[in-house]
Amino acid sequence: NEQAEAVFVIFGSTGDLAKRKLFPSIFNLYRKGNLTNKFAIIGLGRREWDNEKLRSVVKESIKEEHGEAVAEGSSEFLDHFSYLSFDVTDKDSYANLLDEMVLKEDEFSIPGNRIFYMAMAPEFFGSIAQSIYSSGLKETSGWTRLVIEKPFGTDLSTAKQLNEEIRKAFSEDEIYRIDHYLGKEMVQNIQVIRFANAMFAPLWNNRHIANIQVTSSEKLGVEGRGSYYEKSGALRDMVQNHMLQMVSLLAMDVPLRLTTDEIRSEKIKVLRALRPVVGETIKENVVRAQYSAGSVEQTDVPGYLQEDNVDPSSHTETYVAARLLIDNHDWAGVPFYIRTGKRMAVKSTKIVVEFKELPHNLYAKEAIKTGPNLLIIHIQPDEGITIVLNGKKIGSADTTPVHLEYRHDSEDRVNTPEAYERLLFDCMMGDATNFAHWDEVSLSWSLVDAISNAWTESDNQPVSYKAGSMGPKEADKLLEADGFSWWPVE
Ligand code: BG6
């Protein structure tokens, strides 16, 4: 087992992310032996909590995931947690934090490695990073790293500003920008499927692929995040990060080696080659939509405009579908269709790669026509691969689609780390491959800004789709215009 030894400082430890994702992930790393006893977690927050309170919250989150008995047996683990009431604008707070870190490093024999994790309101990210620096928290015999949650800015200019602020305190290779999709098992598998298989690697280009469809649909609505979501919408919330990350992984060229730099540089090239959607082209390439009242799994749900903290005349989109084109040698002419939305019929993230039909298909003229070959990568909720081939119907001359299915079964899943667990571990081990480099962030913001500006300039209003559906009909037309249609993801 590779093992990490570090002090882990969580800004925003009283928040939802810490409770739902970070504490259980750290516990899992500990249980699996990826953390020795040489670690400490210092939780920070505005609230007047104490060590006991933080430990009880951590224990609660362990109980939720692993049950009472495991939680009861976790006291040794909980001893590594301490809490400091913290004012991010106050110098004394940072001085206290330094004392606490030194104390913990001594208590648990930690060799001076420090991780600062920002899991709180993004407006403070920049100033906190600078205070960490100016208060001497980076002066240590070990390494220091900054983990930073989304949103990384709200457009290119705010992202740039934030980046400049944190770069005054941390170098690029000390910064770990989280995109939790990069921690998902099957997102990480995209590269293996592509680069380790003789049956895909040679076909992975515009000579053999007709189009690629990436769907990430959710059943949930805005869930009490109305005020954040109003300013963000699906474009900033999902497309700028998760969707474009998946597109980069699907379209990147074979890296020279499996190193962080080589992989990132190939992904960056894809983003550079993505054709910006500007001006009038927005209408035929991007669909912007908002859910109206409907029913999700037999439960009536309100429309977006009736949600809490949402302006009743809001134009914020809860759904985006787009045709993306990559202007390079391998991908010219192959549309990448993406779609993502809230309050849809299913929770599903899937990639469908549709191969071109054979130039001379002997079976194409028959009454029962053969279909294209498909490679389906199931990212969530189920994980696996489906390959769709054409075969012969038993006892008949007709052809029929043959589905070769592989799923990770539930037994495999028991010990499979969650996205956050994997990413935290990577950060501790100094592996930034599955984190977003600044160039990726800035390029994807440019693309998103172009779309957003084109919407504003053309006074584009979202169309409507019914909650519980798979999105508006306009999204179907996007593909129909090219002679394709969405493959089902349910
Ligand atoms: C987050 C978005 O980044 O991703 C949320 O802010 C969204 O709005 C979530 O619900 C989806 O993540 P997942 O892992 O459930 O697909």
Give the C-alpha separation, 377 to 186, whole Å: 7
Please tell me the predicted confidence (pLDDT) of residue 414. Answer: 62
Q: Given this model, what pLDDT does residue 90 score?
A: 96
pLDDT of residue 171: 97
Contact in structure between 173 and 432 (CB atoms under 8 Å): yes
Q: Mean pLDDT across the stretch 101-107?
A: 97
Q: Which amino acid is at 109?
A: S
Convert the pLDDT of each residue in 339-349 to its tens digit.
999 999 999 99
Spot the catalytic one: 66, 80, 208, 242. 242
What's the mean pLDDT in 8-24?
A: 94
What pLDDT, on the 0 to 100 scale, is given for residue 417?
72
Of residues 359 and 468, more confidence is placed in 468
Which pLDDT score, from 0 to 100, does residue 7 have?
A: 97
Ligand 1 atom nearest to 181, measured from its CA: 14
4: confidence class by pLDDT, cuts 50, 70, 90: confident
Mean pLDDT is lowest, of 121-125, 148-152, 257-261, 333-337, for 121-125
Give the pLDDT of residue 322.
98
Ligand 1 geometric centre to CA of 299 (Å): 21
pLDDT in tens, 266-295: 999 999 999 999 889 999 999 999 999 999
**Residue range 117-124: mean pLDDT, rounded:** 91
436-452 pLDDT tens trace: 999 999 999 999 999 99
Residue 237 near ligand 1, beta carbon < 6 Å: yes
User: Which comes out higher in pLDDT, residue 369 or 403?
Assistant: 403
Please compute the mean of the pLDDT values over residues 346-369 and round it to a whole number.
Answer: 86
Q: How many CB atoms lie within 10 A of CB 222?
A: 22
Residue 331's pLDDT is what?
Answer: 98
**DSSP letter assigned to residue 20:** I
pLDDT in tens, 79-89: 999 999 999 99
| Residue 359 near residue 326 (C-beta atoms within 8 A) | no
Q: If we measure between CA atoms, which residue out of 14, 423, 475 comes closest to residue 286?
A: 475
Q: How far is the CA of 98 from the centre of ligand 1 (A)?
A: 34
Q: Is the pLDDT of residue 319 over 90?
A: yes
The phi, psi pair for 147, rounded to 5°, reads -105, 130
ipTM (interface predicted TM): 0.99
In this prediction, what percent of the chain has a pLDDT beyond 90?
88
pLDDT band at 365 (very low <50, low <70, confident <90, very high): low
pTM of the complete model:
0.96
Question: What is the pLDDT at residue 415?
Answer: 62
* Largest Cα–Cα separation, the chain: 81
Average confidence (pLDDT) over 376-395: 94
Whose CA is closest to atom 6 on ligand 1?
A: 237
149 lines ligand 1 (CB under 6 A): no
d(CA 345, CA 360): 38
**Are 98 and 136 a contacting pair, CB within 8 Å?**
yes
Would you state the pLDDT for residue 3?
78
Interatomic CA distance for residues 444 and 287, integer angstroms: 18
Ligand 1, atom nearest to 380 Cα: 16
The mean of the pLDDT values for the chain is 95
pLDDT(95) > 70:
yes
Give the single-character DSSP code of 472: -
State the Cα–Cα distance between residues 85 and 29, nearest whole angstrom.
Answer: 26
DSSP structural state of residue 255: P
| Nearest of 286, 283, 290, 284 to residue 341 by alpha carbon | 290
What percent of the chain is modeled with pLDDT above 70?
A: 98
For tokens 């280009």, name the residue.
205
Contacts of residue 315, Cβ cutoff 8 Å, sequence gap at least 6: 290, 461, 462
Give the rounded distance of the alpha carbon of 434 from its chain centre. Answer: 10
Q: Which two tokens stand for residue 84?
A: 């400091």
Ligand 1 center from residue 448 Cα (angstroms): 18
Q: Which of 154, 181, 223, 242 to mutate to test the pocket of ligand 1 (most atoms within 8 A of CB)?
A: 242
Given this model, what pLDDT does residue 328 score? Answer: 98
Say if ligand 1 is within 6 A of residue 354 CB.
no
Checking if the pLDDT of 15 tops 90, the result is yes
Residue 289: beta bridge partners?
319, 463
Would the pLDDT of 474 be above 70? yes
Q: Is the pLDDT of residue 210 over 70?
A: yes
Of the two residues 462 and 413, the one the predictor is more confident about is 462
Ligand 1 pocket, 218 CB below 6 A? yes
* Per-residue confidence (pLDDT) for residue 409, from 0 to 100: 73
What residues contact residue 439 under an 8 Å CB cut-off, 6+ apart? 264, 268, 271
C-alpha closest to that of 249 among 333, 175, 326: 326
19-72 per-position pLDDT tens digit? 999 999 999 999 999 998 999 999 999 999 999 999 999 999 999 988 999 999
Residue 242 annotated to the active site: yes
Closest CA to 262 of 185, 163, 174, 191: 191
